[in-house]
Chains A and B, each alone.
Chain A
Amino acid sequence: MYVVNTETIPGMRIVAVKGLVQGNTVRAKNVGRDIAAGFKNLVGGELKGYTELLTEARRQAVERMLSQAQELGANAVVNVRFSTSAVSQGAAELYAYGTAVVAETEA
């Protein structure tokens, strides 16, 4: 499966468009991580626990998007976009969407 966030794939020709595919997830870390983040706030800087949370969420959203593309019989997803929103304290929604296409190698 080719995944790019551009409209084209180098060396490939898009022969069919299968439509919009999307995946989302809302994830929360446990209270311990929230408290750890509260301590980290004393000095500021990166909140690693939350970064991990976001990475996991992104992986899952992309996975769901790709399984949709597979069901449609696509072999590539182009023009992928991400959107994040804070649903509540310590929980984040991650939404990934793109266009499922069938691409073949240029002769």
Chain B
Amino acid sequence: MFVGFLFTLFGIVVLGWLIGGNAEKRHLRKLAKAFEESGELMTEVRSFPGGAIPTNGAEMVVSEVVIANDYLKSFLASLRNIIGGEIHSYRNLMMRARQEAVLRLLHQAREKGLDSVCNIRLEFCKIGLGFSVLASGTAYKRQESISS
């Protein structure tokens, strides 16, 4: 009975790990592709690089993402805590969340017909079981994009 319970638990965790790992790989591929294809200029400088076209207006864009690790990775990370060192699963998780948030900024800018986002700020906090990233920036239309 107890062995059965353990076996079920183990099965759930491994299944989660397989599905989660697959989803992670797919997500990373999607992010890489999206950033490769995008012609948008994404910067975190305070002013408007390339010059903004005043008539198109500048508008703030905000996006948020909440992401969580699977139980197996969380467990392995807690084991890593004992001996110390870099925890790769959390490192990947954080980067995925940030990139996804920035990607959403880009999509919002595109929807408004704007081609650049400057002054991108990323805010991070722990919420419930997951980690949240809030990204904000100012979208504008670049002046140099007309001439080129």
Question: Does B128 have its Cβ within 8 Å of any Cβ on chain A?
Answer: yes
How many A-B contacts if CB must be within 8 Å? 144
**Chain A minimum-CB-distance residue to B54:** A11
Q: Give the residue of B52, B57, B127 whose beta carbon is less than 8 angstroms from that of A50.
A: B127
Within 8 A of A (CB), among B10-34: 12-13, 15-16, 19-20, 23-24, 27
- Of B20, B55, B64, which one neighbours A44 at CB under 8 angstroms? B20
Select A46's contact among B48, B66, B138, beta carbons within 8 Å.
Answer: B66
Question: What's the Cα separation between A42 and B64 when bound, in Å?
Answer: 22
Which residues on A sit within 8 Å (CB–CB) of B138?
4-6
Nearest B residue to A106, CB-CB: B54
| Known pairs A54-B64, A89-B128, A92-B125; A4 contacts B73 (CB<8 A) | no
Interface pair B68/A41, CB less than 8 Å apart? yes
B130 to chain A: closest residue by CB: A47
Nearest Cβ distance between residue B29 and chain A, in whole angstroms?
Answer: 14
What B residues does A11 contact at CB under 8 A? 52, 54-55, 57
Q: Is B65 an interface residue (CB 8 A)?
A: yes
* A contact residues vs B (CB 8 Å cutoff): 2-12, 34, 37-38, 40-48, 50-51, 53-55, 58, 62, 80-86, 89-90, 92, 94, 106
10 contacts between A and B (CB under 8 A): A7-B46, A37-B128, A41-B68, A43-B16, A44-B20, A46-B100, A47-B66, A81-B121, A89-B128, A92-B127
Residues of B within 8 A of A (CB): 12-13, 15-16, 19-20, 23-24, 27, 46-48, 52-55, 57-60, 62, 64-71, 73-74, 93, 100, 118-119, 121, 123-130, 132, 134, 136-138, 140
